[in-house]
Amino acid sequence: MPSNRERSEHYGALQQVIDQLFGEEGDAAYEEQATNNAASLAHERTDPLTTAAQQFGVTTDQAAMLGLGALGGTAQQSEEPTGPTVSRLQVVMAAESADLPDDLLRIVSLLPPGDYTRQKLTTQLNSAITGHAWGQVYGTVG
């Protein structure tokens, strides 16, 4: 096992797994889907004050004077991911099929259950890699 200063022969292997799962980040289809999702989410968001005024049956001015905008957190803001997603199971299976070393398989197994966009997955993996001080050994992912 290499020290945390030497590069492993598996340096960048986890990045290759991410690229296989999501395709190259510069992929036109990936960029188009992410842009379309972001635009639709921005369109769906409403002003909390307007939402509160509608919920309580008052005008927007009355809602502002009553401080109902603070209750606008009940506005339906979708937290749908922007871009394609993969499940934890897909990530684990891809890592196992890539024949990664045990250290990297442990990192992948630390992922909580759920669906991941590329950004969310890389953030989770980089956090674990950094926490184990393996960034120089195996590299981070992007």
Residue 6 within any structural domain of the chain: no
- Residue 5 domain flag: no
Domain enclosing residue 48, as ranges: 13-138
What is the mean pLDDT for each group of 10 consecutive residues in the chain (142 residues)? 72 90 63 56 61 78 72 50 87 92 92 92 91 85 86
* Residue 104 in domain: yes
Instruction: Report the pLDDT value the prediction gives residue 44, as an integer from 0 to 100.
Output: 47
Position 125 in a domain = yes
65 occurs within a structural domain? yes
Instruction: Give the total number of structural domains in the chain.
Output: 1
Q: Is residue 2 part of a domain?
A: no
Residue 127: inside a domain, yes or no? yes
- 79-110 pLDDT, tens per residue? 556 789 999 999 999 999 998 999 999 999 99
What's the residue count for the chain? 142
